[in-house]
Amino acid sequence: MERPIISSRVDPKDCIFCRIVKRELPAYIVYEDTKYIAFLDKAPFSEGHTLVCPKEHGETIWDMNEQDIGGLFMIASRLSKAIVDAMQADGFRFVQNNGEAANQVVAHVHVHVVPVKKDDKGKMMGRIKISEDKMKDIADKITTKINNMNRISFRSLKNLEYPI
Ligand SMILES: [Zn+2]
């Protein structure tokens, strides 16, 4: 049996990401389909730092089936292209924390997509504060890039089925 990991258990009705999915809390949402949603991190490491989540509540990646894990990272991979392009970044990081020991702050599975620039190389990244106007501008830029991507390839992911 898998060793359980310690997570900050939360009732889905109190989960801030579930509440963003239900539009009970505001967020700069840049992408949404039937299974996944992506929005800007409120306390980002860089401009364009985006969180990609399954809409269904689960605390860690171990709460998801493998098909949905595959879908989550496929969406994150596709969105990373739009994010890097929109932010004129030179690279990006995926960060996916599971459990308190990994410093998972919100107990709802999420993948961080953090665009980085050449000058960021080797630096520890700290949280930055971005004005609401700037956040809106960033969200608009990313959304525009996503909308210009191949919509058919995104649509085909909604009923994701592939052999493993
Ligand atoms: Zn949740």
Domains of the chain (ranges, CATH numbers): 12-154 (3.30.428.10)
d(CA 9, CA 145): 35
Each residue of 15-48: b (16+ CB within 10 Å) or e? bbbbbbbeeeeebbbbbeeebbbbbbbbebbbbb
CA of 26 to the centre of ligand 1 (A): 15
d(CA 90, CA 86): 11
Please give the backbone phi and psi of residue 13, each rounded to the nearest 5 degrees, phi first. -70, -20
Q: pLDDT digits over 103-131, tens only?
A: 898 999 999 999 999 888 767 778 999 99
CA of 55 to the centre of ligand 1 (A): 8
> How many Å from the N-terminal Cα to the C-terminal Cα in the chain?
22
CA of 102 to the centre of ligand 1 (A): 18
Catalytic amino acids?
A: 110
d(CA 128, CA 78): 25
What residues are paired with 52 via a beta bridge?
38, 111
Side-by-side strand order, sheet with 91-95: 29-32, 36-40, 50-54, 111-116, 91-95
| pLDDT tens, N- to C-terminus, the chain (164 residues) | 567 778 767 888 899 999 999 999 999 999 999 999 999 999 999 999 999 999 999 999 999 999 999 999 999 999 999 999 999 999 999 999 999 999 898 999 999 999 999 888 767 778 999 999 999 999 999 999 998 886 655 555 555 443 33
CA of 11 to the centre of ligand 1 (A): 8
Q: Long-range contacts: 22-29, Cβ < 8 Å, 24+?
A: 28/135, 28/136, 28/138, 28/139, 29/139
What is the DSSP code string of 94-123?
A: EE---SGGGT--SSS--EEEEEE-GGGTTP
Q: pLDDT digits over 75-88, tens only?
A: 999 999 999 999 99
Residue type, 98: N
